[in-house]
Copies of this chain bind each other. A is one copy, B any other.
Amino acid sequence: MKVTIKEIAQMAGVSPSTVSRVLSESSRISAETAERVREIMRKMHYRPNQLARSLVSRKHTIVAVMLPSAAQTSLSDPFFYDVLRGISVDAAREGYHVLLSTGGHTSDEDESLIDMVHSGIVGGVILLTSKVQDETMESLLDSRFPFVVLGHPVRDDQIHWVDNDNVAAGRVVTEYLRARGCTRIALAGFDPHYRMTVDRCAGYREALAAAGQTVPPEFELHVPYGFTRVDPVRLNAAFDRPDHPDAVVCINDLLALEVMRDLAALGLRVPQDVSVIGFNNIQAAQYSTPPLTTVEIDAEHLGRAAFSLLLHALNDPEAEAARELVPFRIVERESVR
Q: Interface residues, chain A, CB within 8 Å of chain B?
A: 2, 45, 47-52, 54-55, 61-62, 67, 70, 75-76, 78, 80-82, 84-85, 88-89, 92-93, 95, 97-105, 112, 115-116, 118-121, 257, 261, 282-284, 286-289
* Cα of A284 to Cα of B85 in the assembled complex, Å: 20
Q: Contact at B99–A50, with CB atoms within 8 Å?
A: no
Q: Could you tell me the distance in whole angstroms from the C-beta of A276 to the nearest C-beta in chain B?
A: 13
* Count of identical protomers in the assembly: 2
Q: Contact at B88–A120, with CB atoms within 8 Å?
A: no
> Considering only CB atoms, which chain B residue lies closest to A290 in the complex?
B289
Q: Could you tell me the distance in whole angstroms from the C-beta of A291 to the nearest C-beta in chain B?
A: 10
Given A78-B283, A80-B81, A89-B70, A47-B99 contact (CB < 8 Å)? no
In the complex, chain B residues whose CB is within 8 Å of the CB of A115: 47
In the complex, chain B residues whose CB is within 8 Å of the CB of A95: 105
Residue from A45, A95, A100, A257 having most chain B Cβ neighbours under 10 A: A100
Given contacts A45-B118, A78-B81, list 8 more A-B pairs with CB under 8 A: A47-B118, A52-B55, A62-B121, A75-B85, A81-B81, A88-B102, A93-B105, A287-B287
* Cα of A61 to Cα of B116 in the assembled complex, Å: 12
**Option from B81, B85, B101, B120 in Cβ contact (under 8 Å) with A49:** B120
* Cα of A62 to Cα of B48 in the assembled complex, Å: 17
